[in-house]
Amino acid sequence: MKRSITIYLTSSIIFLSLTLTNAQSPVSKFGRLKLVGKQLSSECGKPVQLRGMSSHGIQWFKNCLTGPSLGILINDWNIDVLRMAMYVDEGGYLTDTTYFKNTINTYVNYCDKNGVYCIIDWHVLTPGDPNAHIKESKGFWNYMSAMHSAKKNVIYEICNEPNGVSWSTVKNYANTIIPIIRANDKEAIILVGTPNYSSDLDSPANDPITGANAYNVMYTYHFYAASHMSRLGGFSNNTNRIPIFVSEWGTSDFTGGGNIDLNGAQQWMDNFNGANAGGVKISWTNWNFSDAKETSAALATGSCANKDFTTLTPSGTKVKYWISNPAKSSVACIFPNGIEDDSHNQLFTNIYPNPFNDNFTVNLGPNFKDVLKVEVTDQEGKILETYNTNNVLPELHFGSKLSNGQYFVRIIRSNKVEIKSVVKLK
């Protein structure tokens, strides 16, 4: 196990990261992903289902993706994958290419250090033709694939939602970009958008990418439960025809707002868990981890400005549940450095009350003798209280000297590190 403190400072975003290389992380368990038939699979060829979150546009909501918020997604939500929605237009990449490259690099490196998969999303939307900025796209993907080719956690999504163009146009674009990526990164999963805002799977199923360009390529599908329940049957049928990754879906209507349909979304979850024509596990990222004034947003409006990443909307509450339930059944690989198991969702520590008024108790669970140190930090990572264990007790008490706000409790064990959030009310 390797532990280190790393500070990333770029583009006005500060990350304080605790590096964890252990059996906890999805990447340490599943390694470099690959396709086996139509199933996303681990490095050792076993089926894998990734569940995680997509950001909103990082040009608008960068304050929702910080070290503390990503720490909560990784250690509390137990995400396997983070999708970084980098809009090309609409105030995105084309306005400052250096800034957005540096920002994406920061997120990729943070995910890599914490063993979580990440999707670099070239967020084509307006205009909907992925060829509209082909020169910039070629340069971006050449740069990103060269920069991150040695990492096992990176997935390339080369066009978010093509619209107003045919599949042949999208396919020609993919056949241009894929060789550029493959010149630098031979193995990474590549996601290709589909027509009609990534909802038309029939066209690529009838005319798929072929030859060398088809290697480790999946097709994306997007839906919004309150608008698109009628599409579930067609989606299910296509799971038997082409490899599919649902890189964006919402509980709301297609605008990202309106009513949410949690019952309908549950039917999609059941399908993703294997109840589909292909019998495959479908990986997904939910739209979106932000505090946007939209019902699809996971965080309550105004949360990010207040650095409150635990107050969730109804959608966020349910999606957080779905990320861990049902329990993930993917089989971990056995690597030369030991056996990795599927225990990263087993929470050893309980903190109560939370939120708290005067102080809180940290119950270290049955394995309390494995604990080396317990720290309480603020949102910038400054240590406020610490307990260095000699004869460790099963329960510890903290918080009496803290002021109102959100804090993090870091439990450093001999074989893992847990990070929990706590909130003091008064």
Residue 285: is it exposed, middle or buried by C-beta count within 10 angstroms (0-12/13-18/19+)?
A: buried
DSSP for 137-204, written as a single string: HHHHHHHHHHHHTT-SSEEEE--S---SS-HHHHHHHHHHHHHHHHTT-SS--EEE--HHHHT--HHH
CA distance 231 to 259: 18
Question: Under a CB-based contact definition with an 8 Å cutoff, are residues 7 and 16 in contact?
Answer: yes
Strands 39-41 and 334-335: unpaired
Closest CA to 43 of 30, 54, 55: 30
CA angle, corner 303, sides to 74 and 420, nearest 5? 35
Side by side, the strands of the sheet bearing 395-398 are: 350-352, 360-363, 395-398
Q: Helix 134-148 crosses helix 97-113 at what angle (to 10 degrees)?
A: 30
DSSP for 335-368, written as a single string: ETTEE--S-TT----EEESSSBSS-EEEE--TTG
User: Token match 């997604």: residue?
Assistant: 73
Closest CA to 228 of 258, 195, 251: 251
Question: Under a CB-based contact definition with an 8 Å cutoff, are residues 83 and 73 in contact?
Answer: no
Determine the 3-state secondary structure of 53 from DSSP: strand
The reply to whether omega before 130 is within 30° of 0 (cis) is no
> Which letter does DSSP use for residue 333 in this model?
P
Tokens of 62: 């960068």
Examine the residue annotation and report whether 380 is marked as an active-site residue of this protein.
no
CA dist list (Å): 138 to 101, 276, 312: 14, 36, 38
Catalytic residue among 90, 157, 161, 395: 161
CA distance 319 to 53: 9
Catalytic residue among 90, 157, 248, 418: 248
φ/ψ bin of 250: left (φ > 0), alpha (ψ from -120 to 50), beta (otherwise): beta
Examine the residue annotation and report whether 157 is marked as an active-site residue of this protein.
no
CA distance 192 to 235: 16
Catalytic positions: 161, 248
